[in-house]
Amino acid sequence: MRLRFRTFVWVVLLLGVLILVVWGAKNNPEWHAFSWRLFLSYLVHVHPGYLLAGLGLTLSCYFIRALRWREFLFPVKKASLGNLLSAVLVGFAAVTLLGRAGEFSRPFILSKKENLPLSLSLTTVIVERLFDFSAILTLFLVNLAFFHLGTAVSPQNAAVFHFFSRASALVLAILVAVTAFLFLFQMNAVRWIDFLIERMRLVPERFVVKMEQALKSFVEGLAFIAHARPLFFSFFYSMLLWLTATAGIYCIVRGFRVPFSFSMGIVLLTFSAIGAIVQLPGVGGGYQALILFSLVSFLGVNPTVASGITLVAWVIAFLPVALIGLIELLRGGWSLTSLAREAEKEAASALAQPLPALGKHRSEA
């Protein structure tokens, strides 16, 4: 039931996004120029070399994710890069085909392959989200020094873009503050947790025990913050990941022979990443909606061409990893739905379980 309820919530959110985009398109005179005939013509004449480059860069992002995940786990265990890459591919295939209901699949697979507590894997995925959005917003805000909206952009769309820019700066400041707090929390974990537990005398003991175990599990997953090598490479791989993703988007757009700069690619990347948060199982939705909206409203691309770019970008971003992930899943003897169901079930109780003793891999490069 939880899986169905979560899917229902994402569907409602997605419909809200799509309604806003459709409403914006309907009131945007640029969309009156849309032509189905030209749309099909652009798809037929797309440059295959650029698309192959975009595919290669997009797939390499999953390898970079595996490298970064290894750094997150470095102080706790030297995880196999092959197991990490397998978990990444299966996890993203689950998210593509099941929507956010498949989110727990990736940490679940890794916990099985590397004999790690699921609570530890879950914590690293939470931290991964923090690093992802920090890197994306950093690139976006730095890029504002080089990117300027075209003169053809309507005043309404320009206002939306400037509002988003200011909101991005605020969100990034919050993310930096959260990161600083996590660093302090990890460095003072024992003292802070004991202080908190001592002041929960009126709370039933079973809840106190669960809280303590959850906090200890979370601290274990933050161990990399206290070590220079994994912390540095976690930041490095985060920036490399999203610069590579930008290069992939750049190649896809250039495949349609559209004048396009790397700076414009960063803007498109930012909106596509935000759109990817809200997806319908198997068909996406938010990703396509915000790519299409930003191409037309902020980057001045013809709506017909933008529609072709959006379709091809979605195919390259999601279908190959879904296929590769499913093959990897079958090799492991899992079905997609059973994996998601079991992963969610174990995740629900993982943070309440005591952490087993883990050998520390503390060698520094």
Higher pLDDT, 240 or 102: 240
- Nearest-angstrom CA–CA distance, 212 and 355: 11
pLDDT at position 138, please? 96
* Alpha carbon distances (Å) from 152 to 3, 162, 265, 320: 44, 15, 18, 36
Q: What are phi and psi of 257, to 5 degrees?
A: 55, 40
Ramachandran region, residue 28 (left: φ > 0; alpha: ψ -120 to 50; beta: rest) = beta
What is the average per-residue pLDDT within 73-96? Answer: 89
Query: What is the per-residue pLDDT across 138-159, written as a single tens digit (0 to 9) for each?
Result: 999 999 999 988 878 888 889 9
**% the chain with pLDDT above 90:** 32
Q: In this structure, what is the dihedral angle of CA atoms 135, 184, 188, 216, given to the nearest 10 degrees? A: -30
- Nearest-angstrom CA–CA distance, 132 and 110: 20
Rounded CA Rg of the chain: 22
Q: Indicate whether 250 pLDDT > 90.
A: yes
Quickly tell me which residue has 């398109």 as its tokens. Answer: 25
pLDDT at position 117, please? 81
- Nearest-angstrom CA–CA distance, 189 and 355: 15
Query: What is the per-residue pLDDT across 24-83, written as a single tens digit (0 to 9) for each?
Result: 444 544 444 545 566 566 667 788 899 999 999 999 999 999 999 999 988 888 889 999
**Structural contact between residues 321 and 93, judged by C-beta atoms closer than 8 angstroms:** yes
Q: Indicate whether 166 pLDDT > 90.
A: yes
pLDDT at position 301, please? 85
- Nearest-angstrom CA–CA distance, 133 and 56: 23
Domain residue spans in the chain? Answer: 2-7+41-350
Q: Indicate whether 361 pLDDT > 60.
A: no
What is the average per-residue pLDDT within 101-121? Answer: 82
**% the chain with pLDDT above 70:** 78
pTM: 0.80
- Nearest-angstrom CA–CA distance, 213 and 218: 9
pLDDT at position 268, please? 95
Which residues face 280 on adjacent strands? 284
**Structural contact between residues 217 and 355, judged by C-beta atoms closer than 8 angstroms:** yes
What is the average per-residue pLDDT within 251-280? Answer: 88
pLDDT at position 219, please? 76
Query: What is the per-residue pLDDT across 175-228, written as a single tens digit (0 to 9) for each?
Result: 999 888 888 888 887 788 777 777 777 667 777 777 777 777 777 777 777 788
